[in-house]
Every structure is written in structure tokens, then in C-alpha cells.
Structure 1
């Protein structure tokens, strides 16, 4: 990966080995010359299919060594020689992996749209590729913090997963469960994740079982166990390739889900009781809830004098009534303004 070596040295403060860099470039140039010779031989002595295969090998080599610009140009040239829809789709998958490696999510979105268009063309309907696309699109949504969309796509792919070029099945289940914890309701979490045979088959192997303990204890309302398992599960999220950037968001959303679930069971509860349930100090709970209340994430009021938390459940019907009144007044005001214009 001679193309990536210099910028990585600059990024991480490494001392670049000029001799090693020159050696890598020389080896790459030799390999490219060899591939160009195969392309020339195919053009002179073989057919279009062999030419296309030789061009694809060159494009895949550029992708393998991290030379993104050369790889994209080579894939584009190869696509012009490709007739079969299936082969075109495989090249799009290769370009998508290149986009994911370089964290280019804007380009990945365009490639997803391109692949969906190919799937709609005559001869493009392929269930295996459609299922693989769901995983790629799920990774895109997860990286863009659309956890609800990613969860839906990942859960649909649990029983049809074949995208081993991106991740192992254990890693895939981890991503599905992590996204589900912060996006699904408690009943859906039970039906779609906790009781899923595909999840049950591997969840014990993920992060030393901490992810299993976290999701099961959250559903079972065992908040002490949840808080004990949560740090290890959060560490796994922090070490994840695509969830690392959303580590703080995951920490916040998972805690909000647990706090809201606990408070939904009470009209009022003491701070000491909640702190004991979550195996933390009263000061910690007070600070946590204060932040979430200010952000409008929890419907609860803290009675600091009596050390009590008073839940304030929103009245959906009353809120809808108030909304209708407000919108009705706005409409009447606009009608009155319009009538004055018409009278003039």
C-alpha cells in the first residue's frame, strides 16, 4: 500500500522509511507492468471476455494496494467492456468496498443507487445480490447514524447473510444488536433480537457475552446487571470500525432507554431507590437525569428537597387537542388576512 503509506505516516506521526516506500512503489510498478502485458496480450490474441478479465484483475490490484484513484479509473474502463449485468453489479460491489474503506459515504450512497438501478434492469433480479446490498446499505446508514434504518436492514439479512467480504457473521450480529438497542422498542427488541435464533446462535461469543447480558438485562428490567454489562459492551462499540465515531451517542441513547423504561413503571420514586437499582451513586443519577430532562429526553421532574423523582407522562390526546387548536387559530388568521386582501 505505497499510496497510503506517506499520508498515514503524516497522520500518525511515524518516521517514513524512504527505502521501504521506494521498494513498495517498485514492486507495484512491476506488477502493473505485468498486468498491462496481460491486457495487451488479450487484446492481440484473445477475445473480449479475456480482455475484460485482465482489466478487472488490474482494477482489483489497485484496490488491493489502496490506490483509490487508479482503481476507480480502472473499474470505469472495465465497465465499458462489460456486457453482463451480473458482472457489472460485482464491480459496483468492489467500488462500494473501496468507498467504505476510505470512509467516503457520499460516494457510497451514489453506488448504492447505481446498484439498485442495475437490479431493476432486465436480467438483474438476483436475490443473493439484493440481500448483500441490504448489508452494504445498512453499513452506510449505521455510519451516518441512521440506526433505525440500519437495524431494519440488518434484521432482514440475519437469515440470508453472505457478505463475508465486509465482516464476519459474529460482527454482523454485533452491529445488528447494537443498533437495535438504541432504536427498537422493548417489545420489538424481544421479538426481533432477543428471541431470534440467528442472534442466539452467536451472541454468547460477542464481546465476552457482555452484549448478551446488556440486551437481556435491559429487557428483563434488571438494571443493576445492565449497568455492569454496559461498560464492556460500550468498549466493543468504541473499538468498532463503523460505530467508533458514534460511541458517545450510543452511550447516551442506551442510558436514556434504560432510564425511561425504569421511570415508566413509577408515578414517583426516590432518587436513592433509582440509584440503588442502577448500582450507582445518587449524585450520578441526579446529574444524569438533569442533563436528559433539560434536553427533553425524559418526562420527569426532580424534587431536590424531598429527594423524589416525579414522572410527568405526556397526555397524547391533550397534546393533539392543543395542536389542533393552535393550527386552527393559525388557519383562521390566514383566512382573515386573505379576506381583507380580497375586499380591497
Structure 2
């Protein structure tokens, strides 16, 4: 069909450049999926799906066109139109609405000029609250039209005029939201940290969920999967999803937290902090297959766990925050499964590992070689008999090595103490300032007492030296 040919032509550049293209039919329902979100993330997710998923391409791009016209961001409309004119040139949405573009651009310029004039007047009158509100209004407008850097600067100028805790929280939330849209993970973490410091009891619950989810997404973005899992697992499930719907949904929290926890935590941590966590268990109700995968891992059914995750891979590749991390996270989970499978045995045939973990017609041996080289698998491969043999450390050798290390440390500390004593005896010591509240030594006044930086020696006024080590 012509439509399918045009869609394939649309994805050809991404395929040739090694981009992620999902060709299988995902399980998610586009309409139900996008209803979980509000604000600018709706367009971001729709256009992302349109550029990534072949079966949902046209529907997602058409929805993105509609969504882009709900806001005065002309650049977003141009981006979605530029995609759909290639992917589905016969659709009505493929005809560019020049009248709407011109009208919206004129309105944006007039609104920007009006807000800047108002803000200038507030600055002339030196009314701090009006200046703060003027910067906030200007920042919201600039954010709505897609000028994220200018919006960030406007929100940042609010800080010098804040006067209450609520103002600090609002300012930090604006900055964190813009940072997420710009994929500036460090600034998002910084601004969320300021919310955590000043939030009060009345706003603690909704802000707790918001800060934990934003922190988790930012930590996920910079690849700190263990810390990201800790943040997602601490999110309060009793907070209404509307409080953070402009960023993520409860389904997203379950997926992000479940996958990062499965990739970084041991069995005990998964059981206590994930499956038995009442708050996170409520999130897992939205994604039961994640809960099932974690349960299967804890029960030692590794191939079933990996099978569930592989069946959900197309859906996860359509997530704007998760896509680029899926290969790494899945690789970590798979390595953990192989290691845990091998733990009870001293020797395992490679054919049994192939049956449990390899794809049909392939062997897991090259993967085992890489894991051994990286140090994640303590074993060696018997190429003749096709066995994976565990490398067990010799307890006696380990004890002797530990004893030698303790002796080396003791010798080093003794030499440093003797060197210090010799320096003091030779009068080569640089005496520092007296420290208030020094410990009292019987027979010495406080004026005659001085500790060195290691608190090993006592220097008296007469030059006597006593070891306190």
C-alpha cells in the first residue's frame, strides 16, 4: 500500500543511521496511554512515538498535530507537520495550516512585548511581589511558546524576589520542569533538592511524590540506576496522579522503579523494598507484569523473568526517558540472572545455559566470555568438555592476604608516628592555632595543650611531647 510505503520511507533515515525503530505491534493503546498525561509532555510523547513506532506512526503524528495546536508553540506544529507530510502525505493533517501559524506567531510577539513592558514597569516601581509575578508570567509564556532557555532565565530571576516558602517551591518547580524538558538532568536534581529542603508539612505529601519522581527520572537520565531505584521506591502512592501528570504516570513510576531495582538490587532488597513495600506495591498494581517478573527472579525462574521483560521491550522503547537505557538495564538484568543461576553449582554444562538463556540456534558462550573478562562472573570455561567451572577463592590464601594487608597498614602507621615524633623533637613542627574545647589532660593547663591534626600527639608549652595514639 502507498501509505505503508510512505511510512517506511519516513523511517528509512533512522534505520540507516542506527536509530531505534520499533516495527512490532506494541501492547499499549495510544488513546488510553496519552490520557495519563497533561501539559507539554503529551506532545513530547506523541511525537516520540510517531518517530519511533512503525505501526503507531500515523496515529501518533495525527494526534501530535492536534496537540500542538492547543498551545502557541509554532515550532512543535512545524515539527509534527514536517513528519506527517512524509509519513502520511494523503492525510488532511499533512496540509500545513499557514493561517494558524501566522496568527499564532503574531499573538506570541504581542504577548511577549506586553509581558516585558509590564515587568519593566514593575521594576521601575520596585514592588518585589509584582516583579516576581511578572517574571513568573513571562516565564510561563516563554515556556508555552517553546523558548525554554529564555523561560529558564525568567524563572531564575524570580529567586531574588521570593518571600515565602510557597514562592521558593513554585520557583524551583518551574525550573525543574523546564530542566526536564531540556534534558538537563543535573539542574533538575539541583532544583528538586531545593524543594526538599523547604517543603512544609501541609505540602509534604504531593511535593514528596513530585520530588522523588523528578529525582528518579533525572538519576535515570544520567545512568545512576541504583539511586534512581531508591527515589522511585520512596514515592508516595497516595498522592493523586494529577499532581505529577505533567511529568509521568503511575504506570511509568512502576516501570522505571521496577526495572532499575531489578537491575541493581539483590534478592533480599527486591523482596523487602519492592514487593513488600506498601507504597510501591500500589504502583505495581498498574503494571502487574513488572511485579511478576520480579517475583519470578526472586523464585529462581530466570528464563521466565527474562521472557516477560522481552515481551514488553517494544513498549519500553517508546518511552521518552527509558528508551536509551533499555539495552543497558536489560543487559544488567540478564547478567544478574546468569550469575544467580550459576551460584549453587560448581560446574554447569554450557548446553544447559543455552537452553535457559540463549536464543534458538545460538550459543551463550560469547556472552559468558565477556562476563568473565568484565569480572561479573567468577568462572572459567572448559572449551574441551563445554563446561562452565566456578572459580572458588582459597579461604587460607584469602586469610593470609588479609593478614599481610593489616601488617602493611600497621607498619605504615608506625613509621608515620615515628616521623612525626622526630619532627617535633627536632623543633621542625609548625604549631597551629589553639583549638577551643580541647580535651583536658591532668597536670596540664588548657593554654599548654595542643593536639596535632591527627590527634596523635600532645604539645605542651614546655615542648614535652606525649603520644595519644
Separation in 1, partners of 2:233, 2:283: 14
Q: How far is 1:90 from its partner?
A: 1.3
> Superposed, which structure 2 residues align to 1:171-182 within 5 Å?
171-182=252-263
2:357 matched to 1:278? yes
Is the contact made by 1:213 and 1:225 (CA closer than 8 Å) also made in structure 2? Answer: no
Question: Following the alignment from structure 2 to structure 1, what is the Cα–Cα distance between the partners of residues 81 and 265?
Answer: 42
Distance 1:142 1:23, change over 3 A: same
Larger displacement relative to structure 2 (29-38 or 289-298): 29-38
**Corresponding residue of 2:40:** none
Between 1 and 2, higher relative CO (CA 8 Å, sep ≥ 6) is seen in 2
Query: Contact between 2:237 and 2:280, CA under 8 Å: does it hold in 1?
Result: no
Aligned equivalent of 2:249? 168
Please list the CA deviations of residues 13-69 of structure 1 after superposition, one character each: whole Å capped at 9, or x if unmatched: 99xx79576554323113324545766898999x86566445423221212222123
Which one of 199, 204, 225 corresponds to residue 127 of structure 1?
Answer: 204
Equivalent residue for 2:230, pick from 148, 152, 166 = 152
Counterpart residue number, 2:111: 31
* 1:176-204, Cα deviation, whole Å (9 max, x unpaired): 10110011111211222234444444546
Q: Name the counterpart of 1:294.
A: 373
Per the TM alignment, residue 258 of structure 1 is displaced from its structure 2 partner at its CA by 0.3
Secondary structure at the aligned position of 2:363 is classed as helix
8 Å contact kept, 1:217–1:223: yes
What are the equivalent positions in structure 2 for 1:170-319 lying under 5 Å apart?
Answer: 170-203=251-284, 205-206=286-287, 210-278=289-357, 280=359, 283-314=362-393, 319=398
Structure 1 residues not aligned, in runs of 5+: none
Deviation at 1:99, TM superposition (A): 0.5
Give the length in aligned residue pairs: 334
1:302 and 1:310 in contact (8 A); partners too: yes
- The 1:77–1:308 alpha-carbon spacing in structure 2 relative to 1, beyond 3 Å, is closer
Say which of 141, 145, 155 aligns to 2:219. Answer: 141
Q: C-alpha separation between the residues in 2 aligned to 1:3 and 1:83?
A: 36
Distance in 1 separating the partners of 2:356 and 2:337 = 11
Deviations 1:241-291 (A, max 9, x none): 222222221121011110011001211111112222336458521111111
Secondary structure of 1:309's partner?
strand
Q: Does structure 2 conserve the Cα–Cα contact (< 8 Å) formed by 1:112 and 1:137?
A: yes
Answer 1 or 2: which has greater helix percent: 1
Q: What SS does the aligned partner of 2:320 have?
A: coil
**TM-score (normalised: structure 2):** 0.60
Distance 1:150 1:90 in 2: 24
In structure 2, relative to structure 1, the CA distance for the partners of 1:337 and 1:173 (3 Å cut) is closer
Contact kept, 8 Å, 2:235 with 2:280, in 1: the verdict is no
| Residues 324 and 281 (structure 1), Cα distance of their counterparts in 2 relative to 1, 3 Å cut | farther
1:145 positional shift: 1.3
Q: CA–CA distance in 2 between the matches of 1:191 and 1:117?
A: 28
Tell whether the 8 Å contact from 2:358 to 2:364 is kept in structure 1 after alignment.
no
RMSD, aligned CA: 4.1
In structure 2, distance between residues paired with 1:89 and 1:318? 57
Provide closer, same or farther for how the CA distance between residues 225 and 4 of structure 1 changes in structure 2, counting only shifts above 3 A.
Answer: same
| Alpha-carbon distance in structure 2 between the residues aligned to 1:213 and 1:205 | 12
SS of 2:388 mapped into structure 1: strand
CA offset at residue 150 of structure 1?
A: 1.3
Secondary structure at the counterpart of residue 317 of structure 2: helix
SS in 1 for 2:303: helix
Question: CA deviation digits over 1:48-93, x for unaligned, max 9?
Answer: 6566445423221212222123212322343334311212211111
1:224 Cα deviation after fit: 2.9
Larger of the two Rg values belongs to structure: 2
Contact residue 237 and residue 283 of structure 2 kept, 8 A: no
Structure 2: state its 5+ residue gaps.
1-72, 87-95, 423-469
Distance 1:8 1:314 in 2: 59
